[in-house]
Structures are given as C-alpha cells and as structure tokens.
Structure 1
Amino acid sequence: MFGTMAVVGATGAVGRIMLRLLEERPELARNYRFLASARSAGSKLTFKGREYTIELLEPKAFAGVDLVVASTPDEVAAEFLPAAVAAGCKVIDESGYFRMKPDVALVIPEINPQDALNAKGIIASPNCSTTQMAMALKPLHDAARVRRVVVSTYQAVSGAGLQGTEDLLEGTRSQLNGDAYEYKAFTSPIAFNAIPQIGGFKEGGYTSEELKMVYETRKILGDESIQVCPTCIRIPVANCHSETILVETERPVSVEEARQLFSNFPGIRVVDDQVAGGYPMPSNCTGSDLVFIGRIRKDLSHPNGLAFWCVSDNLRKGAATNAVQIAELLAKHAG
C-alpha cells in the first residue's frame, strides 16, 4: 500500500471510471488527492464516502505523493509528469506522450508485469486499440510466435472523450430531425457514418492511431519482428472498440487450440457459438474489464493464418482498468 496517491484528470471520461474502479477495489493508499486544471480546481468530488476538494495541477502539488495515476491530454502529461518523477513519485500515465520513449515501460499487467516493477520513472498505459489486440496476440505469440497481423478496428465515439459521445448523440438527433449540427470532436459527421481516419496522417498514409498499434504492440510483446498492417475506423457506436484480426503464426494453430489458448489467458473470455448472437458485441461487452474474442476461424488464404473478432470496453480495459491494474501491481510490491 502507498502512503498518498494522486489522481490527475479525475473529472474526464476515463478519470471518472478510474474513480469508480478505485472505489470498488481494496485500498491502494492511505490518503488520496485529486489534481486537475484551473477549470476544475476548487470543485468538490466524493470518493469512498468522503468529500475532497480538487487541487490545482502544478509541479509543487506532487510533494508528499507516492503514486500518481494520470489521465490527461499529451501536452498536459508532457508538461507536468516529469515534475512528479522529480518529486520521487511513481507515475502511471494514460496519455500517448511517453509510450514509445525507450526509457519508459509500456505495460499491460497480464503480459509484461515485470516491466512495471522494474520501471524507474513513468509507466505508460497503452493505446486502447493496442491493448485489446496485444492481449489477444500474447497467448498465440507464446505458443506459435506471431509473424504478421492484419487488423481493422471499429472504434466507439467514447474514445474521442466526452465530446465524442455528445457528437454522436446530438448529431444523430439532429439528422433524424433534419437539423444542422456542428461537430466538435470529428471532422466529418459520425451519425449514420463510418470515418476511416483516427488521428492525423503520418508516414506512408497511415494515421497516428494506426502507427500506435504497430509500434506499441512490438514494444509490449518484446518482439520488433512482428509485422502489423492496421486500419482504424470510427463508427457510430457509443462504447467498446471492435477489431477484426488476422494473424499469421510460425506454425499452424487450429481453431480448437486457439480457443483453448484464449480461454486459459487471464483477462480474456471466449464467446464463440455459431448461432445468432453467439459472439461478442459492443452492446454486451460494455462495462466489463475483459477482452472478448469470438468468430474464431482458419484463414482461407494461408495455412498458418487465423482470423477472429475481438471486442473490449475502451474506457475500462483499454484505459482506466489497465492503469488501475498497474497501480494494484505496484501496491503489492510497495515497501
């Protein structure tokens, strides 16, 4: 257990879920503090039956804090989290800013817990779309070594924050009523649409979200040879990201073996019945901390290929839950 834990960004979409998760779980610290920008500083929140005043996020706010869990935009993380490290805090960061820095551990506790325990400074939590895919790949990689992955994501609007959800609700309502709506989180209408761009365009015509899936997956699994070809798509679903994943392994993996490997891996649940509704969907996976896998089948085009469908709550295991699980791991080993 830690002496004092600080939560940064507790009023955001992920931060709110993080607070609920911390309330449901055994105590990680004896004392808690909550830090936010000037816009939220001074307001009140209730946590574990006690009222707290949100403090201003500034470098001196980390004095006396042992563990920091932060869910902020990249620029905020870049500005303030080094000060937390300098103050002697262990830091778990949900932003994308530090993930690919060579001296920063990128951690999914079910996959590489030792990286968190060995970390000296900031511990990064991966991108939500990467997290569920890496969870699915890990048992296959351990058993038959993953060589190549082709993945398409179907990502919920909650991944764009509270404004993304508002854009879906208000945009849908406006379109049904024949009214105009000015989208704020998306550059194109999301209501009754699919947007094949998440993040800005980068090298080779891939977006930043797609490149995260390439580089973060290799770092988490500890294998730079894994080839990943991603396409990330925003769809008009409120919550839970879905992915179609085609994996080529070094040796053939049968459907039966894959089902067993997935079932035995912590944090994965197989839902794979060949009947209507016998597969995971956003509507029946939201609110869960698990990664769900279904539609497992052999690749018709390659003997070493395996195809499957993967769904996970992007705000929970894809973000808040993973960070809390890292915190729990660290707390177990805290002096």
Structure 2
Amino acid sequence: MHIEVQALNKWFGSYHAVKDVHFSVEPGQLIGLLGPSGGGKTSVLRMLAGLEHPDSGEIRFHGKRVNEVPPQERGIGFVFQHYALFKHMTVFENIAFGLKIQKWPKDRIGYRVSELMELTGLSGVEKRYPHQLSGGQRQRVAFARALAPEPQLLLLDEPFAAIDAKIRKELRSWLKELIDRVGITSIFVTHDQDEAIEVADEIMIISQGRVEQKGTPWDIYKSPQTPFVAEFIGESTILANVHQLKGYEATVEWPSVKALIRPEYIEIGKRGELRLPSASESGRVKALHFRGSEWMIEVEVGSLTLKTYRSLESSTLQVGDEVQVLVHRVYLFNENDSWVMENHLKEDPMPIHI
C-alpha cells in the first residue's frame, strides 16, 4: 500500500499534538516512527488507523482519501503494545477471531490460521490459552491475528515494550524477516533508537508534533538535518566551547553555535598509538564504563569532558591515565542549521554543509 499524508493536524483541547505533518510511505516499506514520549508518534499512528480523526489535512491510501473511512474498512492490521489477546480464547481462536467476524468460510479460516501459525513459529500451541504462553509467544499471536485478514497495512504501537530485553532483541530480527517475507507495508512506533535502527527501512523522527527528519537509519545518523536530530540520535557530548579543542580553534564565530561530538569520532590512545599525533592533544581518563563489547571512556581534555569508545582488544586504560585524544569531526548547529566540520589539522579541512 502506498501512503501519503499531507498537512496533518490534530488537537486535543488546547494541546496541538500533531503539527502540519507531511510524509509518504512506499509499498512494502517498514517505517519506524521514533521520538520522545509525548512527541505525537502514536497520534499519527491512530489517525492512520482511523481511531482518531484529523482536525485538518489528508490521509491517502493508494491515492484515495480515507479521512472519513471507518477503521474496519481501511484494510489495516493493528498490533497493540500489550497484546490485547482474548484470555478465554485459545491461540487458534484468537488468530481466527477477525476472520469469523468477516464471515470467512470455516475451511478457509482453518487454512489461513494454520498458515500463520507456521509463519510465526507457533505451530503446536494452537490449543493453548494466552496465560500458558511466554511473552514472546503472546506477541507472535498478536502479530498473527493482525495479519490474518490479509491487511494491506500493518500498524504496530510499541510492539516490544511489554517484553523483556532478551526476547525483545530476538523478536526484532524475527519481525524484520517476517515483514520482508509477507511484503506488507508496515509502520511501527518506538522510542527505542536501537530498535528503530535495527528493524526499520526508514526512520521518521517526530518531536513536539513535527517530523524532524525522515530517511534511512544511516543517513539520519551521519547527516542530521536539525539540531534536535543531532542531539537525539546516538550517544554524544554537547559543547558550547569546541574552539578549545585542537583543530577547531577558528571554527566557531557565533555565540549561539554549539558542537555535538559522537564517541566514534573521537580516537583515544596511549602515547604513540594514534595515527595523527600532531592533530591530537593530551587528556586524562576520568571514568570507565564496561559495555560488554567495548569500553565507554570519559576523558578530560582541559576543561572539557568527552565520551568515546575503546575496543576490548586494545590495551587496558585506568582512571587517571594520561592519554592522547584526537577529535576527527564535530557537528556544529544553531537553532536553524547544522554542519559537519572536520578537524582542520587533518587532510580534509573543509566543512560539509548538511
């Protein structure tokens, strides 16, 4: 299904929840709506589903305006955050529920439910009740039930929020593979960056009711288009005095400009380890945080505190160690614009406008 949203607005009393939102989704895409709580993500999803009515703007499915079309006629499957399974029904009956409402023939219902049980890895549990299933299995039942009527659009409202961390990671990969196999256009809401980056073909970042940026996870990460996106995506350090760092002395000319530095763009090492010692400066290890696959290191450079990563394969650092620090690039931004700036002591000193 091709989706087009134009100038969408939604008010709840005096609160302007969704502000002039525009976007389009191509058939078969998996889109993640990402942003802070209260940013408007779920309101957008509910308007697509027909559960909320927009105060202005248009929603079009395959070019047809659907603003006044009731939810049951939009060809949508909806997966809720807390499963919303019927406790008194078996797995089979839960998945078949929508098909019975639509008066599918009994033999066709049996075939469709069996097909979905196999597709979602639930074969063998069709006679169990929800309380007899794990959290991951219950969510798979919710996915199967949403897919049963063969919808053209699948909407998911924080589908993994009620599941523990280990199962959540497993279900991310499973959902991505499932959507690819089914080929259905899908939109899911999340506030988890890792989840959006791992699962979505494209991410749409929403804050304070507005779409800040839409693009692939990689494009958004490497080229944030607004100050909010630059600060929201990834771990970073925000500085108002980046001119104190070697290689950036003359880059900031306006008091309103701040710098964002991502950990992976900072190189740290003991003396003699760095490739460009002339562009580095002295620092001291302030704190070490073990992350399982790497170390997160806080390092003091003059009056600044920066965060960076260090591989477990590298020599071990200790709090108080003197190190060399090389900041390869920074994001500069003000209220209206953003730039990427390379360390001017390196080979490419030119700023990259984004």
Structure having the higher Rg:
2
TM-score using structure 2 length: 0.21
Q: Which has the higher helix share?
A: 1
TM-score using structure 1 length: 0.22
With a CA cutoff of 8 Å and minimum separation of 6, indicate the structure with the bigger relative contact order: 1
